[in-house]
Amino acid sequence: MLKADRFDVIKRATLLCASMNFLLGVIQLAAGFIFSSWALFADSLHTLTDIGCDLVIYIAACYSAEPPDKEHPYGHYRMETLASMLMGAVLLVIASILIWEVAASLFFDTSITGPIIGKGLVAVACYSVIQNELLYQYCYYRAKQIDSDLLKATALHQRLDAFSSIIVLVGVVFHEFGVEHADMIAALIIALMIFKMSYKIIRDAANELIDLSVSQETYDLILNAVENVSEVRCCNQLRSRQVAGSIRLDLMLTLNRDITLVHACEIKEATRKAINNLKLPVIDIVIDVSCEEIKSDPAS
């Protein structure tokens, strides 16, 4: 898939999620107050923060699509990583506030007053589950299609929203059977789920910012492909880093003695081809060669 098409997919998916989340968030917020439900109120805040996150993702996708320039010779891919980290930080703050507020309500009885109307909550929660699951399936399919960590984070976020609504349903059912504070306990579970998801998003983004290498399995796969290239004696150095769902590689190859410069270039090209044949998301390969002597090609 072309780079322009990749970011077009991200932007379209983001706009779809933002518009649907806005509608759902307004419905949940109103229902949370009308039906006096802490769980639905927490779920509405979670949904409405998605809109801000979707906006950040949209802006990041626009900037990430920019070609390399003098100030950014390696491109703008890390904008996706920064956006993911910002999205995780926002969710972490929201989760912390919710945990504090719900815990205070449980211990100091500062919860929203008024009766909880089960049927109304069930209708809103069911609508939320269906919408978020559909958005998850769509975003995750697109994320796998273009290999975007940012879109995968968005998809997982939608799945988390679906689970949150299921917890709201469970809280309503237990409340209807007379379980005290079931609604607030459901809200606390939702807040803890948001906290855990935000931690995972921040951790993955931080790993990219510090140039985390590929997994050992992927490393061995690349190394084996390189060392199977004809006339490559060994690969002295193989360094990798992950950036926005893609991989960058730096290699140092030891070649046979008495090889011409033109032949050395052909081996480097064969090495690139061998790596590309692995169908990994490699976007940049830098190859250096080492041997005791490289003779200049007489024809060059």
Give the residue extent of every domain in the chain: 3-209, 216-295
168 vs 181: CA distance, rounded Å = 12
Q: With residue 262 as reference, give the H or E element that holds it.
A: helix 261-276
- Supply the pLDDT for residue 300: 43
Give the per-residue pLDDT at 61.
65
Count CB atoms within 10 A of the CB of residue 292.
9
Look at residue 75 in the predicted model and tell me its pLDDT.
66
pLDDT tops 70 at residue 69: yes
Q: Is pLDDT of 113 > 50?
A: no
Token output for 276: 């590309």
**Arithmetic mean of pLDDT, 22-35:** 84
What would the pLDDT profile of 159-187 be if each residue is shown by its tens digit?
877 877 888 778 777 777 777 677 777 77
Q: Which residue has the higher pLDDT, 208 or 137?
A: 137
pLDDT at 33: 78
Task: State residue 112's pLDDT score.
Answer: 46
Q: Average pLDDT of the chain? A: 78
- Whole-model pTM: value is 0.60
Q: Is the per-residue pLDDT at 296 higher than 70?
A: no
Distance CA 166, CA 60 (A): 31
Decide if pLDDT at 193 tops 60. yes
28 or 113: which leads in pLDDT? 28
Q: Percent of the chain scored above 90 by pLDDT?
A: 2
pLDDT confidence of residue 65: 65
pLDDT of residue 108: 60
Architecture of domain 3-209: Up-down Bundle (1.20)
Asked if residue 114 has pLDDT above 50, the reply is no
- Looking at domain 216-295, what is its CATH homologous superfamily? Cation efflux protein, cytoplasmic domain (3.30.70.1350)
Highest mean pLDDT among 109-123, 172-186, 251-265: 251-265
Please report the pLDDT score of residue 294 as a whole number: 47
| Alpha-carbon span 185 to 166, nearest angstrom | 13
Picking from 226, 276, 224, 225, the residue whose alpha carbon sits closest to that of residue 252 is 226
Q: How far apart are CA 225 and CA 220, in angstroms?
A: 9
288/268 Cα distance (integer angstroms): 8
| Stronger pLDDT, 212 or 135, i.e. the higher one | 135
Q: What is the DSSP string of 132-154?
A: HHHHHHHHHHHHHHHT-HHHHHH
Instruction: Give the mean pLDDT of 146-158.
Output: 76
